[in-house]
Structure 1
Amino acid sequence: MATNPKKFFALGRLKTGERNKTESAYEDFLKVLQATGDVLWFRFEGVKLRLADNTFYTPDFAVMRRNGQIELHEVKGFWQDDARVKIKVAADSYPFKFIAVRPKPKKDGGGWQVEEF
């Protein structure tokens, strides 16, 4: 009997403004960067971008770096195809730096794997 992989997925996104464990861990990382001055400001789900009629993308974090550059950070444990398409469309449509982060396994030293779009 084949196992349905979808049964392992959450039953939907958390309510607006609620963080999952990975997003909470990344927010703690951003707080450290803020304390060192590398990040001046950040906000969870602080920006909503229109990609097309009735199609929007809300990055997990809007981040302002020390030099004033705004970056939009997406935190993923794993990628689903639609999420990857949305961030690519947003990166092609808006003049922000888009960054996706995934936690590195502890056996590989921990931290965050970064992908720029």
Structure 2
Amino acid sequence: MATITRTRVQNKAAAGRFALGRLKTGERNKTEQAYENFLTMLQRAGQVVWFKFEGVKLRLADNTFYTPDYAVMLTNGQMEMHEVKGFWQDDARAKIKIAAELYPFRFLAAKPKSKKDGGGWEIEVFE
């Protein structure tokens, strides 16, 4: 049974539905790069002062960490942690909820909207 499941996972990955593992530290996927372009636009518009990809690592518990995709500083000095998701997988949603309870930052998740829905980003706030 485990072999069948693994084969299905490999077939879905081969079909481009999801990756078999994370990129190297510091490398962005296409969705993360598109979001970085969006943050750059906000920076040029004067809404964002600074941002860093994988710039912060937060301890949630012993041997449990959460690294948001982007640490972002707004012009008013508020720090936000932004997670970019095409879809939620595994324990990612749980980790961002726990981090929002433990740390004094604003946590956001950004999901790309389809072109037929006008494009842009759907934002979910975790408080």
- Alpha-carbon offset, residue 66 of structure 1: 1.1
4+ runs deviating over 4 angstroms:
none
In the alignment, the residues of structure 2 paired with residue 81 and residue 21 of structure 1 have an alpha-carbon distance, to the nearest angstrom, of 20
Return the TM-score normalized by structure 2. Answer: 0.87
Counterpart position of 1:55 = 64
Q: May I ask how many residue pairs the two structures share in their alignment?
A: 116
The alignment-based identity, stated in percent, is 72
In the alignment, the residues of structure 2 paired with residue 94 and residue 114 of structure 1 have an alpha-carbon distance, to the nearest angstrom, of 19
Alignment of 1:12-91 (within 5 A): 12-91=21-100
- Alpha-carbon offset, residue 97 of structure 1: 0.1
Structure 1: segments with no counterpart, 5+ residues: none
Letter of the 2:122 counterpart: Q
- Alpha-carbon offset, residue 81 of structure 1: 3.7
Structure 2: segments with no counterpart, 5+ residues: 13-17
Letter of the 2:64 counterpart: T
Q: Deviations over 1:9-63 (max 9, x none)?
A: 3111100000000000000000000001000000000000000111100000000
In the alignment, the residues of structure 1 paired with residue 104 and residue 47 of structure 2 have an alpha-carbon distance, to the nearest angstrom, of 21
**Which is greater in Rg?**
2
Return the TM-score normalized by structure 1. Answer: 0.94
